[in-house]
């Protein structure tokens, strides 16, 4: 009578030694970690953050001013490069830009509003806000939204930025309701959840406004 065969796991052919072709294992150069790489960020000129009394948004559960990044690029919105004959230095002349912004009621936030400027240069020629966290070797940028919102709140506390009026809250709520009721949004659970959260913030703010 034949002995029943037992089932065995398939054997794996393992090399007796490391591949002969390589000769030796390749070694990584020290200091070649990804953290040595620079962020892959495009050129961006320095900029001002600019608020406007009629521009508001909901971010991080708060109604905050929408801050536009206005580049201090020569040729944009009246920015010019100028030459100081006394010092021999070239500088960015923002008089035209500031005039254009203030004419329409915009509020440019100066860099020296705090001891630490709100823009930094993590890679040569690339300026971002100090709440940006560039990733070495990548174009991905993480943002410290909580830090940013705390800074915006501090500007409001110091009276440098306004607080929203009731009409702003109503306009935002109306636009959000319109978005929520659109058939496309209704079919999109993620958008519906996001907008519902925004609307809750606005309705809460309206109750206390």
66 near another protein, judged by CB under 8 A: yes
196 near another protein, judged by CB under 8 A: no
- Minimum Å distance from CB 182 to another protein? 4
- CA-to-CA distance for 168 and 174, rounded, in angstroms? 10
148 near another protein, judged by CB under 8 A: yes
- CA-to-CA distance for 189 and 187, rounded, in angstroms? 6
182 near another protein, judged by CB under 8 A: yes
Do 81 and 92 contact (CB within 8 A), yes or no? yes
71 near another protein, judged by CB under 8 A: yes
Nearest to 163 by CA among 118, 198, 112, 205: 205
The binder of another protein chosen from 84, 138, 145, 200 (CB under 8 A): 145
Identify the three-state secondary structure at position 185: helix
117 near another protein, judged by CB under 8 A: no
114 near another protein, judged by CB under 8 A: no
Element (H, E) at 168: helix 166-181
Length of the chain: 209
- CA-to-CA distance for 133 and 116, rounded, in angstroms? 16
Burial class (CB in 10 A: 0-12, 13-18, 19+), 24: exposed
**What are phi and psi for residue 147, nearest 5 degrees?**
-60, -40
Q: Kindly tell me which of 27 and 184 has the beta carbon lying closer to another protein.
A: 184
169 near another protein, judged by CB under 8 A: no
The binder of another protein chosen from 37, 110, 121, 178 (CB under 8 A): 178
Only segment of 11-19, 27-35, 69-77, 159-167 that touches another protein (CB under 8 A): 69-77
Q: List the structure tokens of 148.
A: 């940013």
Only segment of 4-12, 24-32, 109-117, 125-133 that touches another protein (CB under 8 A): 125-133
- CA-to-CA distance for 139 and 147, rounded, in angstroms? 21
- Minimum Å distance from CB 147 to another protein? 9
74 near another protein, judged by CB under 8 A: yes
| Interface residues toward another protein, by CB under 8 A | 42, 44, 47, 50, 52, 54-55, 57-59, 64, 66-71, 73-81, 96, 99-100, 103-106, 128-129, 131-132, 141, 143, 145, 148, 175-176, 178-179, 182-185, 187, 191, 194-195, 198
């Amino acid at each position: 009578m034949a002995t029943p065969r037992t089932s065995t796991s398939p054997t794996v052919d393992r090399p007796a030694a490391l591949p002969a072709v390589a000769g030796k294992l390749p070694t990584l150069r020290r200091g070649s970690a990804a953290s040595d790489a620079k962020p892959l960020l495009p050129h961006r000129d320095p900029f001002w953050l600019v608020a406007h009394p009629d521009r508001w948004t909901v971010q991080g559960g708060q109604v905050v001013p929408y801050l536009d990044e206005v580049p201090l690029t020569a040729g944009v919105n009246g920015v010019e490069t100028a030459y100081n004959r006394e010092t021999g230095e070239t500088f960015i002349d923002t008089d035209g830009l500031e005039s254009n912004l203030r004419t329409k009621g915009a509020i440019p936030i100066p860099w020296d509003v705090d001891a630490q400027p709100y823009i930094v240069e993590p890679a040569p020629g690339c300026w971002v806000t100090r709440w940006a966290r560039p990733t070495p070797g990548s174009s991905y940028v993480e943002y410290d939204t909580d830090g940013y919102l705390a800074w915006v709140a501090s500007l409001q506390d110091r009276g440098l930025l306004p607080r929203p009026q009731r009409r702003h809250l109503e306009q935002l709520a109306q636009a959000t309701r319109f978005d929520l009721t659109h058939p496309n949004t209704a079919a999109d659970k993620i958008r519906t959840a996001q907008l519902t959260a925004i609307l809750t913030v606005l309705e809460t703010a309206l109750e206390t406004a």
